[in-house]
Amino acid sequence: MKNNILIRDLDKKDLNWIKKTTPEGISQNEYVKNILKKAHEDEFKYTLFDNPITPKSIFGKLPFKFIDLFAGIGGFRCALTVAGGKCVFTSEWDKYAAITYKSWYGDEDVYSGDIREIDAKKMIPNHDILCAGFPCQPFSLAGVSKKNSLGRAHGFKDDKQGNLFFKIMDIVDAKRPPVLFLENVKNLRSHDKGNTWNVIQNELESRDYIVFTKILDARYWVPQHRERIFIVCFDKAIFGDKSEINFEFPEPNKSKKITLKSILLSNPNEKYMLSDKLWKYLQAYAQKHREKGNGFGFGLNNEDDVARTMSARYHKDGSEILIQHKEWRNPRRLTPFEAMHLMGYTDDYANLFGHKEGFPQVVSDTQAYRQFGNSVVPKIVEDIAKKIVDTMAEAITNKNSGGLIRSKF
């Protein structure tokens, strides 16, 4: 029967407990439903630092909870799940990115409205880590250049995207997560002569968060130059002063070169070859800018190269990452499958969410390229997340043992 719980399927011991504890005036079936409802509510009520956790319970992986803001296609979701986390809230306004996210992670409960209108206290569960790769276009070199050419505002003055950082601060004020994990373009530090970063840092530190930052290049994790700033903040009330927090960003293995050979298909579809017209245009465009002393142009690669940064505009002409093909008259762009692996969405992540043959492409090529160009590289995020987990573990063991016990992972 619909919405009915089959009590008869329970163990005899459980049945006896239900009979003994069911209050008068309600059925046993309704009583069990109420128990399950409360258990579900309690699951989202507490965070890691609210509970009396013993050192023994945190060996291996911490049972932490995180939220995924400006989620895109889930780079943070992949990474923090591997690190032992459970996602309790997701926000992504782009309908095509949300389609991919839902398909990949089996999560239908994605908030797709305007995050500026959300009531954080009512709609966002308590959590241990707030994750947000907040929109980078208002701060990126390419985005600023384009907006300047069009006479449009950029940075915090961008009405559409520039003020979304302050919505994150509203959520922080409402929920007070122990850890903040943010990502943006490298130019965030230098935008507006450093004033933008000064505002961000002040907003974080004025709320008593200890701020750690580092610019990391994805080339040591995937075959692509992609410099991004990562910002990790710890609640001072829980973790103490900076000198007391044992946190360091991961160090890349610079001795290992990862090349395009690791992600290129041996027999790609010929539809990804550039047309004669487009290839002629790109060559002429590059020549024009060379004569002016500019560096604009296409990036032509072979399998032994490390690619330029993939951007959300890759779908237009693929010019930043073109691949030479011995048997074709013109270069080609990456296929969506190759672009996915260029960003580090490997089969290991896909298998974790039940996709035995890798993450499926559920949107058009155009939308897929946009999504990959806007994404974080989950491999970097995973390595940072594991460092955060170590720091949280130490904070919990210190809290529960007066600083006498150190958890080892």
Catalytic residue annotation: 136
Per-residue pLDDT of the chain (409 residues; tens, 9 = 90+): 445 555 566 677 777 777 888 888 888 778 777 776 666 666 666 676 665 544 444 434 557 999 999 999 999 999 999 999 999 999 999 999 999 999 999 988 899 989 999 999 999 999 999 999 988 654 544 544 444 454 554 345 545 545 899 999 999 999 999 999 999 999 899 888 888 899 999 999 999 999 999 999 999 999 999 999 999 999 999 999 999 999 999 999 999 899 999 999 999 999 999 999 999 999 999 998 888 877 678 999 999 999 999 999 999 999 999 999 888 999 999 999 999 999 999 999 999 999 999 999 999 999 999 999 999 999 999 999 999 999 998 887 776 544 333 333 2
174 and 306 both lie in a single domain: no
Q: Which residue do the tokens 């579809």 mark?
A: 269
355 and 307 both lie in a single domain: yes
187 and 270 both lie in a single domain: no
Pairing of β 65-69 and β 86-90: parallel
Q: Residue 312 in contact with residue 374, Cβ under 8 Å?
A: yes
141 and 221 both lie in a single domain: yes
354 burial level (CB within 10 Å; 0-12, 13-18, 19+): exposed
The 10 Å CB-count burial string (b at 16+, else e) for 227-254 is ebbbbbbbbbebbeeeeebebebbeeee
- Asked whether the whole model's pTM tops 0.85, one would answer no
Does residue 1 fall inside a structural domain?
A: no
205 and 322 both lie in a single domain: no
137 and 250 both lie in a single domain: yes
| Number of domains the chain contains | 3
212 and 94 both lie in a single domain: yes
242 and 100 both lie in a single domain: yes
DSSP 165-211: HHHHHHHHHHH--SEEEEEEEGGGTTGGGGHHHHHHHHHHHTTTEEE
213 and 267 both lie in a single domain: no
What are the Cα distances from residue 198, in Å, to 167, 236, 291, 378? 17, 19, 38, 27
Does residue 360 fall inside a structural domain?
A: yes
185 and 102 both lie in a single domain: yes
Does residue 2 fall inside a structural domain?
A: no
What are the Cα distances from residue 329, in Å, to 2, 270, 275, 301? 62, 11, 10, 15
Q: What is the CATH number of the domain that holds 323?
A: 3.90.120.10
What are the Cα distances from residue 28, in Å, to 1, 25, 367? 16, 10, 50
Structural domain boundaries enclosing 30: 7-45
Does residue 88 fall inside a structural domain?
A: yes
Q: What is the CATH number of the domain that holds 243?
A: 3.40.50.150
193 and 163 both lie in a single domain: yes
267 and 249 both lie in a single domain: no
